[in-house]
Amino acid sequence: MITSSVPREWKELQNEVGIILEQCGFSVKVEKKVNTARGEAVLDVYAEEIVKGRKYSIVCECKHWKSKIPQTVIHSFRTILNDTGANIGYIVSLRGFQSGAVKAANYANLELVTWEEFQKSFCDSWLDQYLCPLITKELDPILGYTEPLVQDWMCKVPDHEVPLIKALREKYFAFAVLVMAFTTYSVFMRRTGFPKLPLSENWQELNVAESCIPREILEATGYREFLHASLNFGKQGAIEFKKIKDRNNL
């Protein structure tokens, strides 16, 4: 999943849907007012992107209800969907849908999804458009400090600094190997997609039990949580290397 977090109320669900679509590359408007055949309506989330010069638009209705969604909601949303001319609509529900709602949705370009199913629909796009570029940009320094061919400045430090550099390289090496799999550098190597979470169960390339990688990275079940923990750890590592470089004026 993109995130293991579950929205606590409707407003949060609406905002989270908008954030995910925006991070997938869409231009997003939350609570967008539109004119329909019945008058003015407010769309929970409206998103659009331009694909090869053509506009592709999405409308989302977010339902943080304690019960399953009935077919009356589907009929109402179908009307709005038709009036807006959107390419596809999503009704996102935390509690699922009644059988009548599912049948009603079969007659429109409409997807009925749970919060988890919505994330699954956009997870690949989110990884490609957001997580991968961000990790590549933000963690490039730690990848450089830990690559097999040591950087030139590391060969110029005083002898008493050498053990510290070696220790840091050992500390962050496994992390750098792991992170590399999520960067744009490895795009042609990801024949089966991004590594599955949690990495503690699915990462076979390293003996993670013996590595210095924090547990919040290895045990994250949502890619967003994995991303935040990785950025924190990797940036801290880059700071530790840079301190050595700076204090020796290299």
The beta strand positions in 24-173, using DSSP E, are: 27-36, 39-51, 54-63, 88-93, 110-114
Q: Residue 64 carries which DSSP code? A: -
* Radius of gyration of the chain from its Cα atoms, rounded to whole angstroms: 23
Q: Are 70 and 102 in contact (CB under 8 A)?
A: no
CA angle 216, 9, 118 (to 5 degrees): 65
Residues 16, 116 within the same domain: yes
Residues 14, 116 within the same domain: yes
How far apart are alpha carbons 210 and 191 in whole angstroms? 27
Residues 60, 98 within the same domain: yes
Residues 146, 243 within the same domain: yes
Residues 103, 149 within the same domain: no
Residues 166, 88 within the same domain: no
Residues 149, 201 within the same domain: yes
| Residue 5 within a domain | no
Q: Going residue by residue through the chain (250 aa), what tens digit of pLDDT does each one get?
A: 999 999 999 999 999 999 999 999 999 999 999 887 777 889 999 999 998 889 999 999 999 999 999 999 999 999 899 888 899 999 999 999 999 999 989 878 999 999 999 999 999 999 999 999 999 999 999 999 999 999 999 999 999 999 999 999 999 999 999 999 999 988 766 667 889 999 988 876 666 555 789 999 999 999 999 999 999 999 999 999 999 999 999 9
Q: What is the tens place of the pLDDT at every residue in 8-27? A: 999 999 999 999 999 999 99
What is the total count of domains within the chain?
Answer: 2
- pTM, two decimals, is 0.92
Q: How are beta strands 39-51 and 27-36 bridged, if at all?
A: antiparallel
How far apart are alpha carbons 244 and 157 in whole angstroms? 8
| pLDDT for residue 108 | 81
Q: How far apart are the first and last CA of the chain?
A: 43
**Residue 95 belongs to domain with CATH number:** 3.40.1350.10
Say which residue the tokens 């510290």 belong to.
164
How far apart are alpha carbons 146 and 237 in whole angstroms? 10
Residues 100, 145 within the same domain: no
How far apart are alpha carbons 185 and 101 in whole angstroms? 45
How far apart are alpha carbons 93 and 116 in whole angstroms? 9
| pLDDT for residue 119 | 98
| Residue 128 within a domain | no
| Residue 60 within a domain | yes
Domain span at 200: 139-247
